[in-house]
Amino acid sequence: MSKMSLSTRMILVLTLITVLSGGILAGWDTITKPKIAFHRQEALKAAIGDVLPAHDTYTREETEFGTIYIAIATRDSSEHLVGIAFMAVGSGFQGELRIMVGLSPDMTQLTGIKVLEQIETPGLGTKIVVDPSNKQDPYWFPAQFRGVHLSPEIVVIKNAKPTRNNEVQGITGATISSKAVTNILNDQIAHIKTVWPSKGGPES
């Protein structure tokens, strides 16, 4: 060791450490990768199940606006389309929101939404996921989107009950978070409509 020049030794030691590190990580990756992929898949399945409860199975289709999940019901003898789901991503109050969105086959109504990732203000903006202060109905905000109509677009109403079928009630103290959700939905559904033709009846 002492015969080696210092710079050779530095290069040798750092190379050895990094090669060793690479080896450990490569080995660990092969062990954990299938498990991590499995959890992602399960989370995706659960989210699609939440927004399109009527479906039994789904297929995926890649489009220029991301993946669309085509949900099919097989429980009756006739296999039919129950809707499509896709991941809508956009800006919330403080950071990115990722929302799983379920659409009816004719693209006129939502079948449900589920906010999967958010960093909104705890206690205010986080009510877009769950509202622990409302003991009877903690999921009142996301639940409003089930069956909401899309024409002309989803509108947030402040401090009042919705009267029209395209309206949802905003969260008091978190107007920006409430509007962020509807803006992302309106914006991305418009994109999806351009790549996925609406299918009226169960026959198609």
Contact positions toward other proteins, by CB under 8 A? 6, 9-10, 13-14, 17-18, 21, 24-25, 28-29, 31-32, 35-36, 39, 43, 121-123, 132, 135
Which residue, 21 or 165, is less far from other proteins as judged by CB? 21
Which residue, 37 or 195, is less far from other proteins as judged by CB? 37
For the chain, the farthest-separated pair of C-alpha atoms sits apart, in whole angstroms, at: 86
Distances (CA, A) of 36 to 28, 32, 39, 47, 52: 12, 6, 5, 17, 24
Separation between Cα atoms, residue 114 and residue 101, nearest integer Å = 7
Which residue, 29 or 79, is less far from other proteins as judged by CB? 29
Residue type, 44: L
Distance in Å, CB of 100 to other proteins, minimum? 15
Q: Give the 3-state secondary structure percentages of the chain, helix then strand then coil, rounded to 5.
A: 35, 25, 40
* H helix intervals, the chain: 6-51, 140-143, 175-195
Distance in Å, CB of 176 to other proteins, minimum? 17
Which residue, 43 or 143, is less far from other proteins as judged by CB? 43
Distance in Å, CB of 57 to other proteins, minimum? 23
Distance in Å, CB of 158 to other proteins, minimum? 21
Distance in Å, CB of 27 to other proteins, minimum? 10
Which residue, 42 or 61, is less far from other proteins as judged by CB? 42
Which residue, 31 or 160, is less far from other proteins as judged by CB? 31
Distance in Å, CB of 38 to other proteins, minimum? 9
- Beta carbons within 8 Å of 47's beta carbon, 6+ residues apart: 85, 100, 114, 116
Separation between Cα atoms, residue 98 and residue 90, nearest integer Å = 7
Q: What are phi and psi of 99, to 5 degrees?
A: -125, 130
